[in-house]
Amino acid sequence: MVKTIRVSEEYHKWLSAHKEDDETMEETLRRMTRGPHPGDVAGLLTEEEAADAKEAVNRLRGRDRDRLDTARSAFESEGRMNDH
């Protein structure tokens, strides 16, 4: 089965610039993202385990987002304080 994904023009240009002559775009994406081949990981997790793993990843991303927002606010506050 084949799926189509949308990427920005900028990302596509960047990815194309990193594509090697003998690679397909999928191979380039895999290499650049270090993603495993789906056949290598198929069946390793039950649906429940996969859902739990996705939830854990989303929680971690949320914490990372919170930390980034806190750091950005602190940086912006420091910049405003230095302007006065």
Within this chain, do residues 20 and 52 fall inside the same structural domain, yes or no?
A: no
Within this chain, do residues 29 and 52 fall inside the same structural domain, yes or no?
A: no
Within this chain, do residues 49 and 29 fall inside the same structural domain, yes or no?
A: no
Within this chain, do residues 26 and 56 fall inside the same structural domain, yes or no?
A: no
Within this chain, do residues 49 and 28 fall inside the same structural domain, yes or no?
A: no
pLDDT by residue (tens digit) across 52-69? Answer: 999 998 888 888 888 888
**What pLDDT, on the 0 to 100 scale, is given for residue 84?**
60
**Tokens linked to 72:** 């950005």
What pTM does this model have?
Answer: 0.40
Within this chain, do residues 56 and 73 fall inside the same structural domain, yes or no?
A: yes
CA geometry: angle 67, 69, 71, nearest 5 deg: 70
Within this chain, do residues 49 and 21 fall inside the same structural domain, yes or no?
A: no
Residue 4: give the domain boundaries. 1-34
Asked whether the beta carbons of 58 and 50 are under 8 A apart, the reply is no
User: What's the domain count of the chain?
Assistant: 2
Q: Rounded CA gap, 54 and 45, in Å?
A: 11
User: Can you say how many angstroms the Cα of residue 17 is from the centroid of all Cα atoms in its chain?
Assistant: 19
Asked whether the beta carbons of 16 and 29 are under 8 A apart, the reply is no
